[in-house]
């Protein structure tokens, strides 16, 4: 290119120069001119210099500054063509608009930033502000896109969401908008809830169909990978106030929890509560697992599950709502939804008055009546030796082949009678005087370290339990007790170690006596599976049989879901990385949105309370985009828009970005931009007139000083 100054007949002192641009590739020149030279004519109208084309050379004549603008415009257009773009008049207008803003960003970089491509169609930003908006989504966790309709706020956010899903940066997409008209006013309309609110979500569906193959969308929505729901129905991921949550100090009702309290997460460790959100009175459901565990939750409550398809294709867990599972719990007689099991719960270790393995043996085969010296009954000499070794100062005196008395080795010395340490420990634990139907595991053992709990179970299983093998199947543990309370305690111990336990009731009435057994009490028979690496037996003969086939993998499935009426509910947010916490019967559930790309559309129609609720549901590994137009609020009169106040509240908060788009970013018909500007001028004039109007509403001077 060369610049050649030359004199012209223009105003004195105004220097005009000539700049020549040579285009080597004829195909670029053809695209640069456009059909019927329409691109060239648009460029001529867009610059103050004169533009002439001859062959492969473009001559620009005008003041140096104007020539420089024209030269930069042609450079950007040529760059677009080099990148494989076909020039359109719209692309030229947008390039001119960006150059007029005199920024460091190149228009060619903006108009070639591809987000998604499908079937020959590419989604990309078309204005400088749109590119900054897209870049902010990449760089920040929470982004607010605020601007008039038609600026691509929601569309670009959805394209980034689909891009993140395809790149496996997130596991699911959640699209929501506040349907202010979709509440009780639509109650008279026929159809289900989602049929009623479908018109308010239709724009989100339409955008999805532009970005994904239509046949894949129902499958992704059924799997919970994509969720589209109104904001009012997204918030209620809740449990009744009376639902129990496991804490390091034991069970507490969820309604009694407060921010800062500790609960047990899926990894068995304590995690703090970050938020408590009352949800009001809601319809709840009883969720029952195949091993008899159950809890209550609302229809929108979240569950982490794996299906047979997930396992067969080696896919990770998915997140579904309670209502997604109703009527879909089995496939061909096989349970569909497997819940995760809690890792061994790590309670704070406590000192105990008796070795836990020894206590397990005594609860199984010991005499604890307190009317005589403690005794133990077993045909396994190995167990008697293990019991004696676990109780310092105690020696087992053998009275018969199966009966032993636990004597105090230091008793009656010097004529002084000392208390049997075993009896002293039993009294301290409240077990003295209990019989087979009233025995239990003391609290100090239930809420103790995993090592203490396992040792106690091993004592119970070595005495009153055993391995059960079946041909072609892994080994399970069977344990029997006549105490209902002890049954519940064993259930807790097994589940707190990551296992699963089934039980059945065996009545004594009507049972035919055995050769040496007279059934006087009902019995509870339990079938138990513990996780791999957890050894349930110390007795060698039982351990060898168990290890021969292994214990298999404990599994817990959703077995039944049934309505349980309306109740006052609450939801909590926990700080665990997976947002999981442990509820009734050690069922693992969760309440927040992890590894998700969440878009709140039409956010100007949220209240400040709704906005706070939505933002505080953010989980780990998630990204949130909030879009809206503060000039189009549809809330009832007097209600403040949450989008209008959130900027003041979150101003300066790290990792939160506010992107402002304007009429120049409208990507619909050109008239839309003009309409937006016209309304903005009208609103400004109305506000100005309102400000100068005198009190009383009469024009200044009208009737002034008039007297009768």
Contact between residue 207 and residue 234 where contact means Cβ atoms under 8 Å apart: no
* Secondary structure of residue 211 in the 3-state scheme: helix
Task: Tell me how many degrees the CA angle 269-274-277 measures, rounded to the nearest 5.
Answer: 125
Task: For residue 79, give the nearest of 67, 91, 69, 66 by alpha carbon.
Answer: 91
* pLDDT tens sequence across 537-547: 999 999 999 99
Q: In the prediction, which pLDDT does 567 show?
A: 95
Lowest mean pLDDT among 310-324, 509-523, 573-587: 509-523
- 333-336: long-range contacts at Cβ-Cβ below 8 A with a sequence spacing of 24 or more? 334/308, 335/290, 335/557, 335/558, 335/559, 336/307, 336/308, 336/557, 336/558
pLDDT of residue 250: 94
For residue 181, pLDDT over 50 is answered with no
Q: What pLDDT shows up at residue 239?
A: 93
Cα 232 from Cα 458, distance rounded (Å): 50
Hey, which residues does 428 pair with through a beta bridge?
none
Would you say residue 668 has pLDDT above 70? no
Q: Is the pLDDT of residue 186 over 50?
A: no
First-last CA distance in the chain: 84
Residue 486, pLDDT above cutoff 70:
yes
Q: What is the pLDDT of residue 707?
A: 37
pLDDT score, position 208: 85
Band of pLDDT at residue 139, cut at 50, 70 and 90:
very high
Q: What is the pLDDT of residue 333?
A: 84
Asked if CATH classification 3.30.1370.10 holds for the domain at 2-112, the reply, yes or no, is yes
Calculate the alpha carbon distances from 569 to 206, 229, 279 in Å.
34, 20, 5
* Per-residue confidence (pLDDT) for residue 584, from 0 to 100: 96
Alpha helices, H only, 83-214: 89-100, 107-111, 128-139, 153-166, 193-211
The pLDDT confidence band at residue 670, using thresholds 50, 70 and 90, is: low
Which residues pair with residue 158 across a beta bridge?
A: none
397 has a pLDDT exceeding 50: yes
Superfamily of structural domain 122-213+595-665: P-loop containing nucleotide triphosphate hydrolases (3.40.50.300)
CATH topology of domain 238-341+556-590: Endonuclease - Pi-scei; Chain A, domain 1 (2.170.16)
356-549 has the same fold as 122-213+595-665: no
Other Cβ atoms closer than 10 A to 689: 9
112-135 confidence digits (pLDDT tens): 778 887 766 788 888 888 889 999
Burial class, 65, CB count within 10 angstroms (exposed 0-12 / middle 13-18 / buried 19+): exposed
What would the pLDDT profile of 630-646 be if each residue is shown by its tens digit?
888 888 877 889 999 99
Query: Which of 36-50, 125-139, 172-186 has the lowest average pLDDT?
Result: 172-186
Does position 678 have pLDDT exceeding 50, yes or no?
A: yes
The overall pTM is greater than 0.75: no
pLDDT tens, 68-92?
888 888 888 888 888 777 777 778 8
Q: Which pLDDT belongs to residue 119? A: 67
Closest to 619 measured CA to CA, from 583, 590, 649: 590
| Segment holding 564, helix H or strand E | strand 556-574
CATH 3.10.28.10 holds for 356-549: yes
User: Three-class SS of residue 381?
Assistant: helix
Does residue 190 have a pLDDT over 90?
Answer: no
For 7-28, what is each residue's pLDDT tens digit? Answer: 444 455 567 888 888 887 888 8
Q: What is the pLDDT of residue 129?
A: 87
- Give the model's pLDDT for residue 120: 64
Q: Which of 74-88, 550-564, 678-692 shows the lowest mean pLDDT across its residues? A: 678-692
Residue 233 scores a pLDDT above 80: no
How would you classify the pairing of strands 262-264 and 270-289? antiparallel
Per-residue DSSP letter, 344: P
When comparing pLDDT for 388 and 673, which is higher?
Answer: 388
Residue 702 is predicted with a pLDDT of: 40
The full DSSP string for 288-336 is EETTS-EEEEETT-EEEEB-HHHHHTT---EEEEHHHHTT-SEETTEE-
Count the neighbouring beta carbons within 10 Å of the beta carbon of residue 675: 17
Mean pLDDT of the chain: 83
Domain boundaries, the chain: 2-112, 122-213+595-665, 238-341+556-590, 356-549
Q: How far apart are alpha carbons 557 and 335 in whole angstroms?
A: 6
Q: Confidence class of residue 432 from pLDDT cuts 50, 70 and 90?
A: very high
- The label of the residue with tokens 């700080």 reads 575
- pLDDT over threshold 90, residue 571: no
pLDDT greater than 80 at residue 410: no
């Amino acid at each position: 290119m060369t610049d050649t100054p030359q004199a012209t007949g223009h105003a004195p002192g105004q220097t005009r120069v000539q700049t020549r641009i040579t285009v080597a590739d004829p195909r670029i020149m053809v695209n640069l001119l456009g059909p019927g030279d329409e691109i060239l004519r648009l460029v001529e109208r867009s610059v103050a210099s004169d533009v002439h084309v001859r062959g492969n050379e473009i001559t620009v004549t005008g003041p140096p500054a104007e020539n420089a603008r024209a030269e930069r415009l042609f450079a950007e257009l040529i760059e677009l063509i080099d990148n494989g773009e076909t020039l359109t008049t719209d692309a030229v207008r947008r390039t001119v608009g960006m150059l007029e803003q005199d920024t460091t960003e190149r228009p060619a970089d903006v108009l070639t930033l591809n987000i998604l491509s499908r079937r020959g169609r590419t989604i990309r930003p078309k204005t400088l502000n749109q590119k900054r908006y897209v870049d902010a989504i990449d760089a920040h966790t929470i982004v607010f896109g605020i601007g008039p309709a038609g600026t691509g706020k929601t569309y670009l956010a959805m394209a980034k969401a689909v891009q993140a899903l395809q790149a496996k940066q997130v596991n699911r997409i959640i699209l929501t908008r506040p349907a202010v008209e979709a509440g009780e006013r639509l109650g008279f309309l026929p159809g289900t809830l989602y049929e009623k609110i479908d018109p308010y979500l239709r724009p989100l569906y339409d955008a999805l169909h532009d970005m994904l193959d239509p046949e894949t969308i129902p499958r992704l929505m059924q799997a919970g990978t994509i969720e589209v729901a109104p904001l009012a129905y997204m918030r209620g991921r809740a449990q009744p106030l009376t639902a129990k949550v496991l804490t390091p100090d034991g069970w507490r009702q969820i309604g009694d929890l407060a921010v800062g309290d500790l609960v047990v997460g899926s990894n068995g460790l304590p995690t703090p509560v970050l938020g408590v959100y009352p949800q009001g009175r809601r319809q709840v459901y009883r969720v029952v697992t195949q091993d008899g565990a159950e809890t209550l939750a609302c229809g929108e409550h979240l569950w982490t599950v794996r299906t047979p398809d997930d396992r067969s294709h080696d896919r990770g867990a998915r997140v579904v709502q309670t209502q997604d599972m109703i009527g879909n719990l089995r496939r061909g007689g096989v349970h569909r939804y497997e819940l995760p099991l809690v890792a061994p719960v790590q309670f704070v270790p406590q000192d105990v008055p008796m070795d836990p393995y020894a206590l397990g043996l005594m609860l199984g085969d010991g005499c604890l009546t307190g009317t005589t010296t403690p005794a133990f009954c077993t045909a396994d000499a190995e167990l008697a030796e293990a019991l004696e070794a676990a109780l310092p100062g105690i020696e087992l005196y053998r009275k018969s082949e199966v009966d032993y008395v636990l004597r105090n080795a230091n008793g009656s010395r010097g004529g002084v009678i000392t208390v049997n340490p075993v009896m002293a420990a039993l009294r301290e634990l409240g077990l003295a005087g209990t019989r087979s139907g009233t025995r239990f595991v003391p609290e100090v053992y239930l809420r103790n370290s995993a090592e203490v709990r396992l040792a106690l179970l091993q004592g119970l299983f070595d005495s009153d339990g055993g391995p059960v093998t079946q041909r072609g199947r892994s080994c399970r543990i069977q344990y029997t007790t006549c105490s209902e309370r002890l049954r519940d305690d064993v259930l807790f111990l097994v589940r707190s170690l990551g296992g699963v336990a089934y039980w059945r009731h065996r009545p004594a009435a009507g049972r035919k006596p055995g050769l040496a057994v007279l059934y006087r009490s009902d019995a509870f028979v339990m079938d138990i599976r513990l996780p791999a690496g957890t050894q349930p037996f110390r007795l060698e003969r039982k351990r060898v049989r168990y290890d021969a086939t292994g214990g298999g993998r404990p599994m817990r499935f959703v077995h039944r879901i049934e309505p349980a009426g309306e109740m006052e509910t609450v939801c909590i947010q926990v700080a665990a990385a997976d947002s999981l916490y442990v509820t009734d019967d050690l069922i693992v559930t969760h309440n927040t949105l992890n590894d998700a790309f969440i878009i709140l559309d039409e956010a100007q129609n949220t209240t400040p309370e709704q906005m706070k609720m939505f933002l505080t549901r953010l989980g780990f590994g998630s990204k949130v985009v909030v879009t809206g137009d503060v000039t189009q609020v549809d809330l009832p009169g007097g209600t403040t828009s949450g989008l209008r106040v959130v900027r003041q509240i979150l101003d300066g908060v790290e990792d939160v970005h506010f992107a402002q788009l304007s009429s120049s970013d409208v990507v619909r018909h050109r008239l839309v931009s003009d309409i937006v500007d016209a309304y903005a001028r009208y609103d400004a004039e109305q506000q100005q007139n309102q400000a100068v109007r005198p009190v009383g509403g009469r024009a200044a001077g009208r009737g002034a000083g008039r007297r009768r």
